[in-house]
Amino acid sequence: MAMQETKIVGDSFQVGVRFQRYWDTSMAIAFFCGELGAGLFFVSFLFDFVPGMVTGMLITGVFKSYFHIAHMGVPMKSWRAILRPDRSWISRGLMAIVFYLGFGTVHVLNLSFDLETTLGLGTALGNLVQFLAAAAALVVMTYQGMAMSHSSAISLWNTALMPVSGLTYALTGGAVLTMVMGWNSLFAVTPEGLNNLATEVLLLLLVDAIVLASVVYSANNRSRGGQVSVSLLLSGIYRQPFLFLVVGTGLVLPALVLWLVPGNFIAALLAAATILAGYLTYRVLIFKAGVYEPMTSFRPSA
């Protein structure tokens, strides 16, 4: 019976596991853009780096919105998703995006044109805007993982590590992009800041690896569906993109590059490209390898 339950079946009425295909590549790209944009904004926020904050908001506001709406069957009704913040992480996340883009824009304008002085806004109001923008960005980095973790029918997703992986990957991508974008401006006069950020990227890559291993270990030990998902990633049809792109290209290679060639722009650019490639592949595969738990058989045991 165990062998039958772990068989991958299609839409036929059989005992076995079935792939989820409602969330696929377009949603994976939307998740990626939302988290990456918020991560870039948050890290740039810590350095008062306006170009990074603006780019982060554009990535989230334009590309996440486009790929999210492209996934929907009735895009004109997509605004209704924000109406249930009491019971849905999707609604809470959309509210967080509105706050993040709104207060983030005000914060950027304040930094660029000193609105506290010209409009007499006051330091307290400026600090409140900063806090709300940063807090909303943190929610944007995690709410998608929160929504996935409630999917009890898909063991690969049903873990508190889903929002953690979104947060750590978003911060890693945001940190390495901030480092590249601010190489000749932000860090030109403070090279120690560049070295510190490079060290933080290395530490974040280590955290990403630990979280990724924990996601795989947790799913493999939870249920038959989780075991099938892990098998697909480690030895099945998704083995090569997972091991070579997510692990090798996205974690090991950039860590080696930043460690062996510190303070080199080309190396930092290569690290950024490989980190983002691995991050995007992770987002795609976590959807593609998600399978529903097998239907329970009611046949009496012998």
pLDDT digits (tens, 9 = 90+) for 232-276: 999 999 999 999 999 999 999 999 999 999 889 999 999 999 999
CATH number at residue 249: 1.20.1630.10
Q: What's the pLDDT score for residue 275?
A: 98
Predicted confidence (pLDDT) per residue in 75-127, tens digit? 555 555 555 655 565 777 788 899 999 999 999 998 888 776 666 556 788 88
* Cβ 81 vs Cβ 91: under 8 Å: yes
At residue 14 the predicted structure's pLDDT band, cuts being 50, 70 and 90, is low
Quote the pLDDT of residue 3. 43
Residue 70 in this model has a pLDDT that exceeds 80: no
299 located within any domain? no
More confident residue, 75 or 290: 290
Q: What does the pLDDT look like over 24-64, one tens digit per residue? A: 888 899 999 999 999 999 999 999 999 999 999 999 999 98
Q: Which has the closest alpha carbon to 138: 3, 46, 1, 233?
A: 46
pLDDT band at 67 (very low <50, low <70, confident <90, very high): confident
Q: What is the structure's pLDDT at 205?
A: 98
Give the chain's mean pLDDT: 86
pLDDT at site 118: 66
Q: Is residue 269 in some structural domain?
A: yes
Q: Is residue 3 part of a domain?
A: no
φ, ψ (nearest 5 deg) of residue 17: -100, 150
- Position of tokens 């900063």? 130
Is residue 4 in some structural domain? no
More confident: 290 or 78: 290
What pLDDT is recorded for position 74?
Answer: 55
- Read off the pLDDT band of 10 (50, 70, 90): low
pLDDT at 127: 87
- What is residue 301's predicted lDDT score, i.e. its pLDDT? 47
Distance separating the N- and C-terminal Cα atoms of the chain: 12
More confident residue, 290 or 73: 290
Residue 81 domain flag: yes
Res. 294 pLDDT band, cuts 50 70 90: confident
What sign does the CA torsion over 99, 58, 144, 127 have? negative
pLDDT at 155 over 80: yes
Q: Number of folded domains in the chain?
A: 1
In a domain, 298, yes or no: no
Which of 90-99, 140-149, 171-180, 291-300 is modeled with the greatest confidence? 171-180
Is residue 7, in this structure, part of any structural domain at all?
Answer: no
Q: Which residue range(s) make up the domain with 172?
A: 12-292
Whether the Cβ atoms of residue 183 and residue 203 lie closer than 8 Å to each other: no
Distance CA 99, CA 137 (A): 8
Residue 5: band (very low, low, confident or very high) from pLDDT cuts 50, 70, 90? low
